[in-house]
Copies of this chain bind each other. A is one copy, B any other.
Amino acid sequence: MKSLEQLTDSVFYIMAALTEPRHGYAVMSLIEETTKGTFVVGPASLYTIIKKLVAEQLIQLHDDSDSRRKVYVLTDKGREILLEDIERRKVMIHLAEQGLQRGNI
């Protein structure tokens, strides 16, 4: 994350998972599950990214965390950034599909 401009895929998946309060391990499992194992964010990546997202205030600790489970959730700022990135990604897909459709010469 150079600052917040665009989210990497890993960051996007994690933030998407944290639209609802979840602890790290659950985020990891959810991504693996929803992508049918296509995209795996292992513990090293996960906790590294979580640390950064907290530092940048895109996610925050949720109340019902205990010592064992640290539950995180998107902040308003995080939600905003995620929405922006969704739009960017829609355009991306649109561009690619447009290119593929026109019979690519």
A contacts, CB < 8 Å to B? 5-6, 8-9, 12-13, 15-17, 19-21, 34-35, 38-39, 73-74, 79, 82-83, 86, 88-93, 95-97, 99-100, 102, 104-105
Partner of A95 from B16, B73, B92, B102 at Cβ < 8 Å: B16
27 A-B Cβ contacts within 8 A? A5-B39, A6-B9, A6-B38, A8-B9, A12-B92, A13-B95, A15-B96, A16-B92, A16-B96, A16-B99, A19-B96, A19-B104, A20-B99, A20-B102, A20-B104, A35-B88, A35-B91, A38-B88, A39-B88, A74-B104, A79-B104, A82-B100, A86-B97, A89-B92, A89-B93, A90-B93, A93-B93
